[in-house]
Amino acid sequence: MRYLLILCLLSVGTYLFAQTPDTFFMDRYQVPCDSGEATFYRIEQISGSLKLIREYAYPSDQLLCEGADISTIYGPLKDGLWTWFYANGARKKQCLYFGGNIQGKSTEWHPNGQKKAEWKYQEKAKELAASWDEDGREMVVHGTGLFEDYYDNGQLHQQGRVKLGKQEGEWKAWHRNGRLMHRLTFREGIVVGKEEIWDSTFHRLYTQEHAKAGKRADVKYQDSKGKILYHAKWEVKKEKTSWVDLGNIEPYRVNFEYIKEAIGFMDEMVRAGAQGEVRIKMLINMKGRVEKVDFLVLADPLLRKNMLNIVKELRYTPPIVDGALSKVWLDLPVKFIILDD
């Protein structure tokens, strides 16, 4: 028995030694950085096949979220219970993941601790089961009722009717300053007819005519003067019935020539003779912002520094997949060549 106990203690000691947590400082684009540029930091600790994660605001040390990732051939995926928190420490959202997908339901709370909403998930589709206001009054019962969401400053963020868990009728969303941001219409959870998006100064940036499966959708992006920057049509192959989040969208066209012009050359790059190809992969979210940057080809550290600083500050067209806003990875190759005079 003593021999076995010693072995167990040695095993536990070795295990604990191997599980020393790692700390990573991240900027607001979730790109690793030094502490001077960080907005939050992440503590990771390996436990068996899982990577335990806790994220904190920097420098306040307020806990933002906690959960675990599992390593797969597709990269790290959320697995198990994940919880997000408000600045006051109260729970904000909680859901159970399996291989990167939410299983069953997720729950949200108001900052005062009152339950806000319950969502149910089936085959990656998201439906609203119930929602409550800050006073505890049930607004959506058994998937039917009026859904409202507010900014932390009290301004109404989005509003619309729900029927049997799906969005129905006209939905609207507003900017923090109260100006209309997003307007579209649903029928049994599917966007139909015209969809419009405005920036915070009420310039119309985007219109789309949604169509049924087998029909051609029509999408246009405009600048602040109404000039059409991008116009395309495509055949709608599949209707989506998952919940559409009306976010804070201010779309700008992805223009590769403009991006390359913005990147340019720094004086120090010319003096050092830095040239070559940089190829990056960017995760563009549904608000047209960069969430993550990966370097696939890197020729010189100076090129990396210059390109990273520029691309994460630019705005991009919110990606549309099968007629719906969606996150996408954008592959951007840029060659830096110094030409002889």
**Does 39 fall in a domain?**
yes
pLDDT at 290: 79
Cis peptide before 59 (omega within 30 of 0): yes
CA distances to 95, 211, 323 from 218, in Å: 36, 8, 9
Flag whether pLDDT at 60 surpasses 60: yes
Mean pLDDT for 110-124 is 89
* Three-state secondary-structure class, residue 18: helix
Write the CATH number for 150: 3.90.930.1
Does residue 35 belong to any structural domain of this protein? Answer: yes
Number of domains into which the chain is organized:
3
Q: In angstroms, how far is CA 59 from the centroid of its own chain?
A: 23
Could you report the per-residue pLDDT of 194-223, keeping only the tens digit for each?
A: 888 887 777 776 777 776 665 666 767 666
How far is CA 49 from each of CA 55, 68, 297, rounded to the nearest angstrom? Answer: 20, 10, 30
- Residue 313, CA distances (Å) to 1, 262, 306 in order: 62, 10, 12
The whole-model pTM stands at: 0.63
Task: Indicate whether 55 and 84 sit together in one domain.
Answer: yes
pLDDT at residue 271 in the model: 54
* Higher per-residue confidence, 190 vs 63: 63
Per cent of the chain over pLDDT 90 is: 30
Question: Which residue range is the domain that position 301 belongs to?
Answer: 256-336
d(CA 330, CA 165): 33
User: Looking at the predicted structure, is the pLDDT value of residue 321 above 80?
Assistant: no
Average predicted confidence (pLDDT) for the chain: 75
Rounded to the nearest 5 percent, the helix, strand and coil shares of the chain are 15, 50, 35
- Per mean pLDDT, which range of 38-47, 107-116, 222-231 is the poorest? 222-231
Does residue 155 sit in the same domain as residue 232? yes
